[in-house]
Amino acid sequence: MPEQLEINQLIDHLFRHESGKMVAVLTRIFGPDNMDLAEDVVQDSLIEAIKHWTYKGVPDNPSGWLFRVAKNKALNIINREKYKRQYTSDVVHLLQSEWTAEPAVNHLFSEKEILDDQLRMMFTCCHPSISSDSQVALILKTLCGFSIPEIARAFLTNDENINKRLVRARQKIRESKIPFEIPPGTSLKPRLQTVLETIYLLFNEGYSASTGTDLIRYEVCKEATRLGEMIAAHGSIDDKSTIYALLALMQLNSSRFNARQDAEGNILTLEQQNRSLWDFVLMKEGFINLDRSMPANEISIYHILATISSYHCSASDYESTDWQSILALYDRLAEIDSSPVVLLNRTVALSKVNGPWAAIQELEKLLSIASLQSNYLLYSVLAEFYIGLDKYQEAVDQLQKAIDLAPLDAERVFLQKKLRYCYEKIF
């Protein structure tokens, strides 16, 4: 009998990589009105995989096995309920006959159709009649395999609020009869913006994991990059400048992953990292996509953030980092996105250019922001500034707050090392 832990890990991997594909093609089959049904079929298929693989072993092609089970379940539902359930699918006429239903479903489960259906799903979730927060929650849930608690942490809210958003979004899809399609003409651009915001949020969840034991959730970051590449490759989108900028940002940041922790899993700051461990092949792809993003009709936050990342990547060592240019970019970014996290990150660049005291004065303006008060990084960054001024007791006070709020073990270990360093300086 296979190890249950290994099976559960495989199921989790497949859920991340395959559930969105299956939900997308099943939504094409059942219609967006029946998105809940599509998710139920995927969930049932995963449960069946756990039961079957536990006793009979994992098949040679677990992904193919899962898709085959989902396809069979879809056909069973169509045959059982074709006179009871109303489908709004564009292939509904093919599902009404037992002679055409199976070939139609087989075709819809082909690789090309699944790729197109994922794009359709993204744009369906981002319809303007759905509120923006519900759009992002829906696409993270249906297409990216996020759990309710993960989405809640990403939005700094609770599970109940996310459930309400998802219920409202699905209800709006049914009431407004939102089509399962890539929007034509001028309606494409605003919908694309929401899709890109969702992908960026997905990447950030992997880049700075909010749960679990890993500092970086590589699979989540790869999935976000894959979705970005999928949109960039699609022929229906003419202006891809912002897409390329987001891709560049994700690739440049991902290229430094291997150096963010040592062999024991301890966090390494940018200053401490062994730059020979950076992925220069992926970094090159990031620079290529950054070049592709220019010239742009409109400079997005992704253009600015990718350019900031490019300065870090192009510096031969930490001391040669062009902090003056990075600060100028953060100043420009703050003009179009004055979010607390952006302002917090800006203070780091400010400290490198104008010194820790100037950064502390700027940071004190952020202390009253509610969403930052529960973010350990606020206090960690403030402690770093105090250490730069040899004010170790003040740093201790801030580090203790940061340790209490840090969500991951690796982050707490990192902060505790700093705390011990400060105590040594004091005593």
Asked if 299 and 242 touch (Cβ cutoff 8 Å), the reply is no
Closest CA to 329 of 357, 352, 363, 358: 352
CA dihedral 229, 233, 236, 239 (to 10 degrees): 70
| In the chain, domain spans | 1-109, 348-427
Closest CA to 82 of 106, 101, 67: 101
Amino acid at 395: A
- CA separation for the pair 181, 55 (Å, rounded): 41
Cis? peptide before 295, omega within 30° of 0? yes
Asked if 389 and 357 touch (Cβ cutoff 8 Å), the reply is yes
**Rg of the chain, C-alpha, whole Å:** 24
pLDDT in tens, the chain (427 residues): 457 777 778 888 788 778 889 999 999 888 888 898 999 999 999 899 888 888 888 888 888 899 889 988 988 887 776 545 555 555 655 555 555 667 777 777 888 888 889 989 998 998 888 987 788 889 888 888 888 887 887 666 789 999 999 999 999 998 998 988 888 878 888 888 888 988 898 888 777 755 555 555 677 788 889 889 989 988 778 889 999 999 999 999 999 999 998 888 888 899 999 999 999 999 999 999 999 999 878 899 999 999 999 999 999 999 999 999 999 999 999 999 999 999 999 999 999 999 999 999 999 999 999 888 999 999 999 999 999 999 999 999 999 999 999 988 889 999 999 999 999 999 7
In the block, tokens 């092949």 appear at 281
- CA 365, 369, 373 angle in degrees (round to 5)? 105
- CA separation for the pair 422, 390 (Å, rounded): 9
Q: What are φ and ψ of residue 238, in 5° steps?
A: -85, -55
- CA separation for the pair 220, 190 (Å, rounded): 25
In the block, tokens 């742009």 appear at 296
CATH, domain 348-427, list 2.60.40.10, 3.40.640.10, 3.40.309.10, 1.25.40.10: 1.25.40.10
Token couple for 391:
């004010």
Q: If DSSP codes are grouped into helix, strand and coil, which group holds residue 181? A: coil
